[in-house]
Amino acid sequence: MDTTRRGSTPVTLVVLALAATLAATAAAETATDWVQARGDPDYRLDLDLAADLLSPGDLYGNWHTATVTLYVRTLPRLTPFVSVGLFEREDADGGLTVGTYADWTARLYTYTAFTRGGRSHYLQRQRWDHAFHLNTGSVIAVLAAGWLADYDEHEDWYVAAGPRIWRGKLIAEYRLTRTVSDPGGRVGWKHLFSCGWGEEGRSWLFANLTLGQERYTATWVAPREPVDHDFVELAVSYQRWLRPRLGVKLRAGYLDLGEGLDGYEKVGLGAGAFLEF
C-alpha cells in the first residue's frame, strides 16, 4: 500500500479548538464557591464524544468514538470504574474497560485497568495497564507497565517511569516509555512532557507533548516490512465545573506519524460532560 501521498492538514480546526480552550480558561471565576458546595460526591458519570480526522483521508477516513464512564467512590481506599465505548470507522464496534484506583497508604496509590475490544481489526483485542505512584514528599515517582494484543499476531509490552511534581494548582510530569512489539522484537521509545493547572471542583487545563518512535512489523504485506516512524503528538484538554456537580470537557489534539507505510496525520476534536452525584 502506497501511503506516501498526504492531504493537507486541517490546521484551522486545531487553531480554533485550542483558541476556544484557552478562552475558556481565561473566563472569570464564578462568585459561587464550587469547591465547598460540591461536597464529597459518591459517583461520577462521564460522557465523551470524539472525532479524529485523518490525512490522507482517502486511505484512512475519519474515526468517531463515544464513551461512557462511571466512577464509584463509596468504597474505602478503592475507586473502581467501568467504561463502555463505541467506535465507528467503516463499521461500528465497541469495547469495555474495568479498573480501579487504590490508595494503599498515605504515600502509595495504584491504577489498574483491563480492556477488551470488539471484533473490529481497528480495535485492540485485550489490554492491561498498571501504574504505581509513590509520593516521596517533594516528588511523586511513577512506575508503569502494560501489555496489549491485537486481533492479528501483534503484541506490545511496555514499561514507563518518571517524576511528577504537584505544587498547589500546578502539576508537571515527565515520563519515559520503552515498548517492545512482536513479532520481531521491535523496540521504540517515547518521551511525555505534561503540564496541568487547576483545582478539583473548579477547572483543569492540561497540555501534553509526546515525542517518540513507533516501531513494529507490518504483517499484512508480503513480504513483511518493518515500520519505523518518528512521531510528535500534542494534546490539550480542559474541564470546567458549571455547577457544583456538573461540568463540561473539551479536547483537541494533533498527531504526525510521518510518511511511508502506515504514516498519517491526525487532528482530534472532542467534547463531553460529567455529572457527580
Instruction: List CB contacts of 223: < 8 A, sequence separation 6 or more.
Output: none
Give, as one character, the DSSP assignment of residue 42: S
- Cα(141)–Cα(258) distance, rounded to whole angstroms? 32
Give buried/exposed letters for 128-152 (b at 16+ CB in 10 A, else e).
Answer: ebebebeeeeeebebebebebbbee
- Cα(10)–Cα(5) distance, rounded to whole angstroms? 16
Q: Encode pLDDT of 187-214 as tens digits.
A: 999 999 999 999 999 999 999 999 999 9
In 3D, which of 163, 153, 148 has the Cα closest to residue 193? Answer: 163
31 pLDDT above the threshold of 50:
no
Give, as one character, the DSSP assignment of residue 29: P
Regarding predicted confidence, which is higher, 9 or 159?
159
CB 24, CB 250: distance < 8 Å:
yes
CB 248, CB 13: distance < 8 Å:
no
Q: Which amino acid makes up residue 226?
A: P
Q: Which pLDDT score is estimated for 246?
A: 97
Mean pLDDT computed over 112-122:
85
Q: Which amino acid makes up residue 93?
A: D
Q: Which pLDDT score is estimated for 82?
A: 98
Give, as one character, the DSSP assignment of residue 106: S
**Among 31-40, 151-160, 213-222, which stretch is predicted with the lowest mean pLDDT?**
31-40
Instruction: List CB contacts of 21: < 8 A, sequence separation 6 or more.
Output: 205, 236, 237, 238, 250, 252
Q: Encode pLDDT of 126-180 as tens digits.
A: 999 999 999 998 899 999 999 999 887 889 999 999 999 999 999 999 999 999 9
Backbone angles phi, psi at 42, to 5 degrees: -85, -25
DSSP letters along 139-201, please? Answer: -EEEEEEEEEEESSS-EEEEEEEEEEEEETTEEEEEEEEEEEEETTTEEEEEEEEEEEEEETT
Q: Which amino acid makes up residue 15?
A: V
pLDDT band at 248 (very low <50, low <70, confident <90, very high): very high
- Cα(159)–Cα(101) distance, rounded to whole angstroms? 19
Q: Which pLDDT score is estimated for 118?
A: 78
3 pLDDT above the threshold of 50:
no
User: How far apart, in Å, do the first and last CA atoms of the chain sit?
Assistant: 50
In 3D, which of 7, 23, 4 has the Cα closest to residue 252? Answer: 23
**Per the structure block, which three cell numbers stand in for 141?**
515517582
Q: Encode pLDDT of 56-112 as tens digits.
A: 877 888 999 999 999 999 999 999 999 999 998 877 788 999 999 999 999 999 999
Cis peptide before 56 (omega within 30 of 0): yes
pLDDT band at 17 (very low <50, low <70, confident <90, very high): low
Prediction pTM value:
0.85
**Structural class in CATH, domain 11-28+46-166+196-205+238-276:** mainly beta
Residue 17's region, left for phi above 0, alpha for psi from -120 to 50, else beta, is alpha
The residue ranges of every structural domain in the chain are 11-28+46-166+196-205+238-276
Regarding predicted confidence, which is higher, 24 or 98?
98
Q: Which pLDDT score is estimated for 11?
A: 53
Regarding predicted confidence, which is higher, 28 or 154?
154
> If 0-12 CB within 10 Å is exposed, 13-18 middle and 19+ buried, where does residue 17 land?
buried
